[in-house]
Amino acid sequence: MFHYSPPTEPFLDIVYEDDFILLANKAAGLLTVPGRGEDKKDCLISRIQTIYSTALIVHRLDMQTSGLIVIALSQEIHRHLSMAFQDRKVGKRYVAWIAGHPEQNSGTVNLPLLLDWPRRPLQKIDMQMGKPSLTHYTVIKREEEKTLVSLRPETGRSHQLRVHMKALGHPILGDALYAPLDVQAMASRLLLHSEHLEFDHPATGERFSFTLHADFN
């Protein structure tokens, strides 16, 4: 049985703040929002709300994914940001270590995704019923048994990057849900990090961007 034991050092990592938004660096192993059960109440938003009582989640990262999340500090800001995500006006970039070496230095995975209901929360590729899902990838560097890639999802489906990299034949290292055991064993955690967000600031209207490089140690 899965035992939830989120990291506590640091308890909270706020990397940017103004009067309207926060950017938090979510640690790998920490839920974005509460899970089911008393033992899963500790999460990013509950920690943030101990300091910023009006904070609201706009989007999520998988528990094992680290990196940038934008937080709204009012209902009005939450509405603006939620619409920006819904309308795909938010630029997102991730970095990941994947197993093996892709043939091309860049490419696109365009495969529709659907919840694998009997095995939920797993997702699966379904060409008939799946929701459109699009990921662009670019190779950053290649090492002996692995490749560092930049990933730019145009859609925001659950587990999209993890399923698309597996479909490409190069699952993400440490992925306990989708990678074979030997690839899981190549890392102590999922090596996937949200490193860049870009959007129109909901208060000023100016284009806002922030980058936080991965620390996979």
Q: Which of 19, 42, 62, 126 is catalytic?
A: 62
Report the half-sphere exposure of 145 (CA within 13 A, side-chain side).
6
Beta-carbon contacts of residue 84 (< 8 Å; ≥ 6 apart): 90, 199, 200, 202
Task: Determine whether 62 is an active site residue.
Answer: yes
Overall size of the chain counted in residues: 217
Tokens representing residue 5 in the block? 């034991």
In the chain, alpha helices (H): 44-49, 75-86, 160-167, 181-184
Q: Is the Cα dihedral 89, 114, 149, 110 positive or negative?
A: negative
- The type of residue at 22 is L
Active site residues: 62
